């Protein structure tokens, strides 16, 4: 800026000098003085401009370039792959199959790994890739690799959103018209039918790739997590490989090849500082944490408060937990966001696995990928002890998928046990029914399987290889940063239930969090914030209705805090109406004193349903039906917002149907017009849901 100012002032100064020279005498026009000045002026400007351009270029060279998702030229020679390109990795390792995953809970990543691993049966070497770590615009170059195929295992998250690691890829697909002619592709979507935007991302990507000229090798597959997503994936996979073989003119190996992906090294004399322990292995830096905080770099937050919300007569437990995120952490959140918590497995379950496998859990080991080209050198931080791996990194409480059973079958000494596991891992109707009954309906995890099949003794390192990674759990934030800028709150019911086999299953995260209380030194929990679209209206004067039974109240506690804060600041606030439901007023009426205080000071209008305090059950949906006039006044006459949080399968669907009836009756619309009215509300973010199944 200083250079441009100096350059702008120069002509004025020189023009003044030139004028003086032209008037210096009668012979002035005969002299070259004026032209010399002009020459000097031009030369000075050229030198200054060259200096400025050189300086700017050097600055640009020193500035790291942001990741670009602009559309690249289709010529390979004009835009060669970058150094971190998946194209380069495919070529250098002689691969032709790349499987991208968009995963929030790990399932899509797991499916991608299974597909890539199976490629060897069909003489097709595969590679798994995270789109967040790839230059996805280089898909236009994949056609330069013979018989190449890109597969996308993409989950739909929230209200039709891509997962965090697929966001930039989806933005790139939407941003322009890349020429993807010659790209061969297949898509498997992961969704849940209880949500309105079922598998929206998988469907969009499948259609968009075709629109951009790519060739679909096998029909789109859609998995429903509300039913049996494992069965959906296997059914699609059984069509996938024959279609790939026919498309490329290749033949399968004829048999299912099983091989280890990681090699084992056990360590004897390794110094303690080289061994990963616990959640510390997830951090970029334990001693000096730096933002931004995310799934790969969670913040170790001290527990400030952990108190029980249920009454003394309740058989259940619900926790109010506050985490300290003081100014030093630079951690920020907004009302309506989600808090991710990394849990720790129960020590009793971990010990049982060690006992069943006959292994010393304190043995330190490393699993190293046999594929040297893979970006994933280890399945989790290594070296570590088996105890650390099973406690902090591996999911030991979910129902194992069929590919795990297939690999476990090789370690049974009883032929009947081997056949049982092989049957449940098969794709036959009998096998699928057996898996559904014995694993899913009877709710067995890996510990239960080891206990119920005594002849099964797998090597612990192989078990650590095939078990999925332990994922973080997401909770609606139940506070407003305007009232609590230095802390973030969650509201969580402790999960505990009896299975059909008579065992007691406990929720991983809530069981662990229940033991976390304020202490000195502080009790630390790895957390990070996930942004949400669940937001209050921009203007506090806009009226809102919130429907949140049980812990569905959580985000609305933050909403009410924010509305109350605005009211106390003297701002005009619209109607703030809450529909809350629980079983009994003396047992599970969450935040009762707070809510009643908000009613008393004029911030809140409250409708409460107690389902078990009378002979017939009363739910929030019954109250909504009784208050149709209020509903229509807010959403129809005052252009207000309605929010729903809680159970997707029943409550949220019932609320939607009630809204439809209200719009039809009070708005005097046909069913079609009423449905379009509600869809418009959704597109305008006037009707928002934060639900789970």
Catalytic (active-site) positions: 476, 645, 690, 692
Question: Residue 596 contacts by C-beta under 8 Å, 6 or more apart in sequence?
Answer: 606
Instruction: Say if CB 551 and CB 646 are below 8 A apart.
Output: yes
Q: Where do the H-state alpha helices sit in 68-192?
A: 86-93, 107-118, 167-175
Which two tokens mark 89?
A: 């990795």
Report residue 284: phi and psi, to 5°: -65, -40
Which two tokens mark 195?
A: 């949500």
Report residue 65: phi and psi, to 5°: -75, 135
Give the whole-angstrom CA distance, residue 58 versus residue 310: 63
Q: Whose CA is closest to 94, among 114, 134, 124?
A: 124
Give the whole-angstrom CA distance, residue 392 versus residue 380: 10
Tell me the DSSP string of 643-658.
Answer: EEEEEIIIIIHHHHHH
Angle between helices 107-118 and 229-248 (to 10 degrees): 30
Q: To the nearest 10°, the Cα dihedral for 236, 240, 243, 249? A: -170
Instruction: Say if CB 343 and CB 105 are below 8 A apart.
Output: no
Give the whole-angstrom CA distance, residue 362 versus residue 540: 56
Instruction: Say if CB 575 and CB 635 are below 8 A apart.
Output: no
Q: Whose CA is closest to 656, among 683, 679, 629, 684?
A: 679
Q: Whose CA is closest to 224, among 254, 250, 193?
A: 193
Instruction: Say if CB 341 and CB 513 are below 8 A apart.
Output: yes
Give the whole-angstrom CA distance, residue 545 versus residue 435: 44
Tell me the DSSP string of 505-540.
Answer: EE-HHHHHHTT----SS--EEEEEEE--S----SST
Report residue 87: phi and psi, to 5°: -60, -45
| DSSP helix/strand/coil, 582 | strand
Question: Residue 326 contacts by C-beta under 8 Å, 6 or more apart in sequence?
Answer: 486
First to last CA, the chain: 57
CA atoms in the 13 A half-sphere facing the CB of 84: 11
Q: Work out the number of other CB atoms within 10 angstroms of the CB of residue 249.
A: 7
Give the whole-angstrom CA distance, residue 27 versus residue 370: 90
Which two tokens mark 329?
A: 């952490």
Give the whole-angstrom CA distance, residue 76 versus residue 138: 9
Give the whole-angstrom CA distance, residue 405 versus residue 418: 10
Q: Whose CA is closest to 325, among 352, 351, 293?
A: 293
Which two tokens mark 629?
A: 């006039």
Instruction: Say if CB 201 and CB 166 are below 8 A apart.
Output: yes
């Amino acid at each position: 800026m200083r250079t441009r100012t100096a350059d702008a002032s120069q002509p004025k100064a020189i023009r003044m000098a030139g004028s003086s020279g032209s008037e210096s005498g009668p012979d002035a026009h005969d002299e070259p003085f004026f032209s010399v000045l002009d020459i000097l002026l031009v030369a000075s400007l050229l030198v200054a401009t060259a200096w400025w351009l050189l300086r700017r270029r050097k600055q640009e060279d020193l500035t790291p370039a942001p990741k670009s998702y602009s559309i690249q030229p289709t010529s390979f020679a004009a835009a060669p792959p970058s150094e971190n390109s998946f194209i380069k990795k495919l070529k250098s390792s002689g691969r032709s199959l790349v499987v991208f995953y968009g995963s929030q809970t790990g399932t899509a990543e797991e499916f991608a790994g299974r597909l890539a691993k199976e490629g060897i049966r069909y003489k097709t070497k595969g590679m798994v890739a995270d789109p967040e770590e790839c230059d996805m615009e280089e898909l236009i170059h994949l056609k330069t690799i013979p018989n190449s195929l890109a597969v996308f295992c993409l989950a739909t998250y929230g209200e039709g959103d891509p997962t965090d690691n697929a966001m930039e890829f989806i933005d790139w697909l939407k941003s322009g018209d890349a020429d993807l002619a010659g790209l061969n592709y297949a898509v498997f979507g992961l969704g849940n039918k209880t949500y309105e935007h079922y598998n929206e991302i998988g469907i969009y990507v499948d259609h968009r790739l075709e629109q951009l000229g790519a060739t679909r090798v096998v029909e789109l597959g859609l998995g429903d997590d509300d039913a049996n997503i494992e069965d959906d994936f296997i059914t699609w996979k059984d069509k996938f490989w024959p279609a790939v073989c026919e498309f490329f003119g290749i033949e399968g190996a004829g048999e299912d090849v099983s091989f280890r992906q990681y090699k084992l090294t056990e360590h004897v004399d390794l110094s303690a500082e080289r061994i990963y322990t616990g959640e510390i292995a997830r951090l970029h830096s334990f001693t000096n944490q730096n933002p931004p905080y995310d799934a790969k770099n969670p913040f170790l937050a001290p527990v400030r408060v952990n108190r029980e919300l249920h009454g003394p007569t309740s058989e259940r437990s619900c926790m109010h937990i506050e985490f300290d995120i003081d100014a030093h952490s630079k951690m920020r959140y907004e009302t309506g966001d989600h808090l991710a918590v990394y849990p720790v497995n129960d020590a009793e379950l971990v010990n049982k696995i060690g006992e069943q496998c006959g292994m010393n859990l304190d043995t330190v080991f490393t699993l190293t990928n046999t594929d040297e080209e893979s970006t994933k050198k280890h399945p989790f931080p290594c070296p570590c002890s088996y105890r650390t791996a099973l406690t902090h990194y591996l999911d030991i409480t979910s129902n194992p998928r069929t590919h795990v059973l297939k690999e476990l079958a090789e370690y049974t000494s009883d032929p009947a046990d081997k056949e049982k596991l092989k049957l449940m891992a098969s794709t036959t109707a009998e096998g699928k029914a057996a898996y559904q009954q014995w694993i899913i309906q009877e709710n067995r995890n890996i510990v239960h399987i080891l206990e119920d099949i005594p002849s099964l003794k797998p090597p612990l390192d192989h078990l650590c290889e095939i078990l999925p990674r332990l994922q973080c759990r997401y909770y609606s934030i139940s506070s407003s940063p305007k009232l609590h800028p230095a802390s973030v709150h969650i509201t969580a019911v402790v999960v505990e239930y009896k299975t059909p086999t008579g065992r007691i299953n406990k929720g991983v995260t809530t069981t662990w969090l229940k033991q976390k209380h304020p202490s000195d030194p502080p009790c630390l929990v790895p957390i990070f914030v996930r942004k949400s679209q669940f937001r209050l209206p921009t203007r506090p004067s806009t009226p809102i209705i919130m429907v949140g039974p049980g812990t569905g109240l959580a985000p609305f506690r933050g909403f009410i805090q924010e509305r109350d804060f605005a009211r106390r600041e003297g701002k005009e606030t619209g109607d703030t109406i809450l529909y809350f439901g629980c079983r009994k007023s003396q047992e599970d009426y969450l935040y009762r004193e707070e809510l009643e205080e908000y009613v008393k000071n004029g911030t809140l209008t409250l409708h409460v349903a107690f389902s078990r305090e009378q002979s017939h059950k009363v739910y929030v949906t019954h109250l909504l039906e009784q208050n149709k006039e209020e509903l229509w006044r807010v959403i129809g006459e005052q252009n207000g917002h309605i929010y729903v949080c809680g159970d997707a399968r029943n409550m949220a669907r019932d609320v939607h149907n009630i809204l439809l009836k209200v719009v039809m009756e009070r708005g005097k619309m046909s069913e079609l017009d009423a449905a379009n009215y509600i869809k418009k509300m959704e597109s305008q973010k006037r009707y928002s849901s934060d639900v789970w199944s």
